[in-house]
Amino acid sequence: MKREKKFPHKYRKSYNIRGALITFIAGLPYKYIESMGRVLGMLMYFVDVPHRRIVRRNLQFIYPEWTLDHIKETSLRIYQNIGITFIEICQIACLSQDDILQKLKIKGEEHLLNAIKRNKGVILISAHIGNWEMIAPFLSAHFGSQGCMVGRQIRVRIVHRLILRLRTRFGATVIDKEDAMPKMMQAMRQGKILGIMLDQSTKSKMGVKLNFFNKAAIATPAVALLAIRCKSPVIPIFCIREAYGRLTIIVEPPLNLKRTTDLRSDINTSTQIMLDAVEKAIRAYPEQWFWVHMRWKKYYPHLYPEYIARRKRRRAKKNRKRGSENSI
């Protein structure tokens, strides 16, 4: 007869409290998730002044025809979406595999299934829109543990641990963004599903100058290079919050990338095609994108004067430090 696992009294009590808390969070109806998220978003909107400025400046830059009132209203909705997303992430960490599959629906699944059958690996491009963190656990629960994603470490350790656990809890793996190309190539050779966020900026020495929202922006050519070399299909995928808070994974048809004898031209053209697909999704749901990014800082630094001033202070500090070291 199998003996029941016992815990010391003090540990058993904390274990029961933790289990009850997880059960409570997992069972929260969406209306409470939405209400708490909106309140949290409003608090962040009024407290987080520096990032609120970035959001407004980005919106004014991309939508010059919008009135100031409309920009303020949209900025608040953007923060509320961030708040709802955060509360949802806390709940997702408490949900079972079956709960996650029931919580979301997927559109265009056939595009992904057909791409998987080619056995060339699949590259999924996405953006920080809707609840982007739902994509990895849902696909892992739905298709098994053949998925991996590229991501950078989050500076706040506790948040990094939470997000990492969320992304990998059903078998997916995470590839660190630094020097990721060899592991990305390996994933394609193994026929895996590889997820990459394509809406953020990248280091100048590694990027190419392209258009994003009809504005010059720097973008990584790594995804296009990977797709061309491995002959892997590239599929846009987004997790959008629809009516009544329903989260939907939208899988679009594979992109028709450029493949000729001119590799450099093909990479630039294909990367632009990918950026256009991301832009299309953001234009459809502007209030759900993470406008907090300083996406256009490379070619339009005047949009973020505080960032430029901070960078100058850091450079001056480094120069003073080097000068003091050299004088020793």
Please check whether residue 136 is in contact with residue 166, taking contact to mean a CB–CB distance below 8 angstroms.
yes
Using only C-alpha atoms, what is the Rg of the chain?
22
Percent of the chain scoring above 70 in pLDDT: 89
CA separation for the pair 61, 59 (Å, rounded): 5
The number of beta carbons lying within 10 Å of the beta carbon of residue 288 is 25
Residue 155 has pLDDT above 50, yes or no: yes
Q: How confident is the model at residue 14 (pLDDT cuts 50, 70, 90)?
A: very low
Instruction: Enter the pTM of the model.
Output: 0.85
Residue 86 has pLDDT above 70, yes or no: yes
Q: How far is CA 250 from CA 114, 125, 139, 281, in A?
A: 15, 12, 12, 10
CA separation for the pair 217, 228 (Å, rounded): 22
What type of residue is 251? V
Residue 26's pLDDT is what? 66
Pairing of strands 215-219, 208-212: antiparallel
Q: How confident is the model at residue 326 (pLDDT cuts 50, 70, 90)?
A: low
What type of residue is 82? I
Please check whether residue 256 is in contact with residue 235, taking contact to mean a CB–CB distance below 8 angstroms.
no
Widest CA span in the chain: 76
* N-terminal to C-terminal alpha carbon distance within the chain: 74
Q: How far is CA 308 from CA 58, 111, 218, 313, 322, in A?
A: 16, 43, 17, 9, 21
**DSSP 8-state class, residue 260:** S
Q: Which residues contact 204 (CB under 8 A, 6 or more apart)?
A: 218, 298
Give the angle subtended at the CA of 89 by the CAs of 87 and 94, to the nearest 5°: 105
Q: Summarize the confidence of residues 230-235 as an average pLDDT.
A: 93
DSSP output for 32-100: HHHHHHHHHHHHHHHH-HHHHHHHHHHHHHH-TTS-HHHHHHHHHHHHHHHHHHHHHHHHHTT--HHHH
Please check whether residue 28 is in contact with residue 245, taking contact to mean a CB–CB distance below 8 angstroms.
no
Q: What's the token pair of residue 270?
A: 């294909």
What type of residue is 227? A
CA separation for the pair 274, 224 (Å, rounded): 8
CA separation for the pair 235, 219 (Å, rounded): 18
Name the least confident of 261-270, 272-281, 302-311. Answer: 302-311
Q: How confident is the model at residue 2 (pLDDT cuts 50, 70, 90)?
A: very low
Mean pLDDT of the chain: 85
Q: Summarize the confidence of residues 22-36 as an average pLDDT.
A: 76
Residue 17's pLDDT is what? 59
Please check whether residue 150 is in contact with residue 261, taking contact to mean a CB–CB distance below 8 angstroms.
no
SS3 175: strand
Q: How confident is the model at residue 106 (pLDDT cuts 50, 70, 90)?
A: very high
Q: Summarize the confidence of residues 211-236 as an average pLDDT.
A: 94
Residue 274's pLDDT is what? 96
Please check whether residue 274 is in contact with residue 224, taking contact to mean a CB–CB distance below 8 angstroms.
yes
Residue 110 has pLDDT above 60, yes or no: yes
